[in-house]
A and B are shown apart, each in its own frame.
Chain A
Amino acid sequence: MAKPSTWIPHVETFVDASRPSNQQAASLEAIAALVKKDLLTMEAVVREMEMYLTTTDHALRARGILLLAELLTRLVSKPLDSATIHSLTGFFTSRLADWQALHGALVGCLALLRRSTNVGMVTVTDARMLMKSYLENLQVQSLALHDRKMCFELLECLLEHYADAVAPLGDDLVYGICEAIDEEKDPQCLLLTFHIVGVLVRVFHDPLGSISSFAGDLFDILSRYFPIYFTHPKNDDIDVKKDDLSRALMHAFASTPLFEPFVIPLLLDKLSSSLLSAKLDSLKYLSYCTLHYGADRIAKHAKAIWSSLKEAICTFSPQDTSFLLAFESPEDMRSQENEVAAEALVCLERILVQLDSSSGYSFINFIVEDEDIEMIFRSVTGVLGYKDLTAEGKQKLHALGNILFVSARVSSSSCNKVFQRFFTRLIEILGISSRNFSVDSILNDSYVFPEGLNFGALYLCINLLVACRDLTVGFKETKPYYPQVEDFWCCLLQNFSGPLADFLGSTLIACGSHDTEKDYFYSGVKGLQTLATFPGSSMPISKAICEKVLTMFVSIITGRCEEELLWKLALKALIQIGTFIESSYDTEKRTSYMNIIVGETFSLLSLDDSGMPLPLKLEALNGIGSTGLDYMMRLIQGLEEAISANFVKASVEGNVKSVEILIYLLKFYSGQVLPWLKKTVGFEEVALRFAVNIWDQLESSKALNIGIQGQGLLDAIMTAMRLAVGDCTEESQALIVQKAYCVLSSMTFFPLKESVPLAPIKLENLKLIQNIVSLSSRDEWLISLFSSVLTALHPPTPIPEVREILKLLTIFVLKGYVPAAQALGSIINKCPLKINTIETSSVCTLEEALDIIQKTGLYSVLSKDPLSNGTDGSSQNLSNLFCVTSSKSLFQIHAIVGLAWIGKGLVMRGHEKVTEIAMLILKCLLSSSSKEIMPLQQNALENGNGPDIDPSVVRSAADAFHILLSDSEVCLNKKFHAAIRPLYKQHFFSSMIPILLSSIKDTESSVARASLYQAFGHLISDAPLAAIVTEAKKLLPPLMNAISILSLDNLNKDLTYSLLLVLSGILMDENGKEAVTENAHSIITNLLTLTSYPLMMVVRETAIQCLVAMTGLPYTRIYPMRTQVLQAMTKALDDRKRSVRQEAIRCRQAWASIASRSLHF
Chain B
Amino acid sequence: MVSGLINANPTVYERKERRVRSAPADADEYAVEHIDAQEIFDILCCGSRIPYVFIICFLSMTWVLKTTVHAFLSVISITISNHVRDIKDPEHPYSLEELKVVTEDAIDVDDEQSHVRVTFTPTVEHCSMATVIGLCIRVKLMRSLPSRYKVDIRLAPGSHATEAAVNKQLNDKERIAAALENPNLLDMVDDCLAPTFA
Interface residues of A (CB under 8 A from B): 1095-1097, 1130, 1133-1134, 1136-1138, 1141, 1145-1146, 1148-1150, 1152-1153, 1157, 1159, 1161
Contacts and interface: CB of A to CB of B under 8 A. Distances in A.
A1161 B33 contact: no
Contacts of B143: 1145, 1148-1149, 1152, 1159
Q: 4 smallest A-B Cβ distances: which pairs? A: A1134-B146, A1149-B197, A1136-B32, A1145-B144
Given A1130-B147, A1159-B143, A1161-B142, A1137 B197 contact: no
A1096 B186 contact: no
A1095 B146 contact: no
Contacts of A1152: 143
Interface string B28-66: 011111010001000100000000000000000000000
A1141 B190 CA distance: 20
B174 to A, nearest CB: 13
A102 B186 CA distance: 57
B33 A1133 contact: no
Contacts of B142: 1161
Nearest to A1134: B146
A1145 B39 contact: no
10 contacts: A1097-B27, A1133-B145, A1134-B147, A1136-B30, A1141-B39, A1145-B197, A1150-B197, A1161-B142, A1161-B177, A1161-B180
A233 B97 CA distance: 25
A1137 B190 CA distance: 27
A1146 B197 contact: yes
Nearest to B176: A1161
A1097 B33 CA distance: 12
A1141 B29 contact: no
Contacts of A1133: 144-147
A182 B39 CA distance: 58
A1161 to B, nearest CB: 6
Contact of A1096 (B29, B39, B144, B183): B29
Nearest to A1136: B32
B23 to A, nearest CB: 9
A1105 to B, nearest CB: 14
Contacts of A1161: 142, 177, 180
Interface in B147-172: 147-148
Interface of B: 21, 27, 29-33, 35, 39, 43, 142-148, 177, 180, 183, 186, 190, 197
Contacts of A1130: 146-147
B110 to A, nearest CB: 15
Contact of B33 (A1096, A1136, A1149): A1136
Nearest to A1144: B144
A503 to B, nearest CB: 45
A1133 B141 CA distance: 11
Nearest to B183: A1157
A1134 B32 contact: no
B25 to A, nearest CB: 14
Contacts of A1096: 29
Contacts of A1141: 35, 39
Contact of A1138 (B33, B144, B177): B33
B186 A1157 contact: yes
Contact of B43 (A1097, A1145, A1157): A1145
Given A1097-B29, A1152-B143, A1159-B143, A1134 B186 contact: no
Nearest to A1095: B29
B32 to A, nearest CB: 4
Given A1130-B146, A1130-B147, A1149-B197, 16 more contacts: A1095-B29, A1096-B29, A1097-B27, A1133-B144, A1133-B145, A1133-B146, A1134-B146, A1134-B148, A1136-B32, A1138-B21, A1138-B33, A1138-B39, A1141-B39, A1145-B143, A1153-B190, A1157-B186
Contacts of A1148: 143-144
Contacts of B30: 1136
A1134 B197 CA distance: 18
Contacts of B145: 1133
Contacts of B177: 1161
Contacts of B35: 1138, 1141
A1134 B29 CA distance: 16
A1137 B34 CA distance: 8
A1145 B145 CA distance: 8
A31 to B, nearest CB: 47
Nearest to B32: A1136
A1159 B145 CA distance: 14
A1157 B21 CA distance: 35
A1097 B177 CA distance: 35
B85 to A, nearest CB: 20
B7 to A, nearest CB: 27
A1136 B146 CA distance: 11
B33 A1137 contact: yes
Contacts of A1136: 30-33
Nearest to B186: A1157
A457 B184 CA distance: 75
A1096 B148 CA distance: 24
B28 to A, nearest CB: 10
A1095 B21 CA distance: 23
A1149 B195 CA distance: 11
Contacts of B180: 1161
Contacts of B31: 1136
A955 B180 CA distance: 56
Nearest to B30: A1136
A1152 B144 CA distance: 12
A1146 B39 CA distance: 14
Contacts of A1149: 143, 197
A1094 to B, nearest CB: 8
Contacts of B39: 1138, 1141
A613 to B, nearest CB: 24
A1147 to B, nearest CB: 10
Nearest to A1147: B197
A1149 B21 CA distance: 24
Nearest to B190: A1153
A1097 B197 CA distance: 22
Contacts of B190: 1153
Contacts of B43: 1145
A1021 to B, nearest CB: 21
A1157 B177 CA distance: 13
Select the residue from B27, B146, B183, B186 with max chain A CB neighbours within 10 A: B146
A1097 B30 CA distance: 8
Contacts of B186: 1157
A235 to B, nearest CB: 11
Contacts of A1134: 146-148
Nearest to B43: A1145
Nearest to A1129: B143
A1130 B149 CA distance: 12
A1138 B38 CA distance: 11
Contacts of B183: 1157
Nearest to A1133: B146
B193 to A, nearest CB: 8
A1146 B31 CA distance: 23
B15 to A, nearest CB: 19
Select the residue from A1141, A1146, A1152 with max chain B CB neighbours within 10 A: A1141
A1095 B28 CA distance: 11
A1146 B145 CA distance: 12
A1150 B144 CA distance: 12
Nearest to A1161: B142
Select the residue from A1097, A1138, A1146, A1152 with max chain B CB neighbours within 10 A: A1138
A296 B183 CA distance: 80
A1127 to B, nearest CB: 11
Contacts of A1157: 183, 186
A1150 B142 CA distance: 15
B72 to A, nearest CB: 22
Contacts of B21: 1138
A1152 B33 CA distance: 26
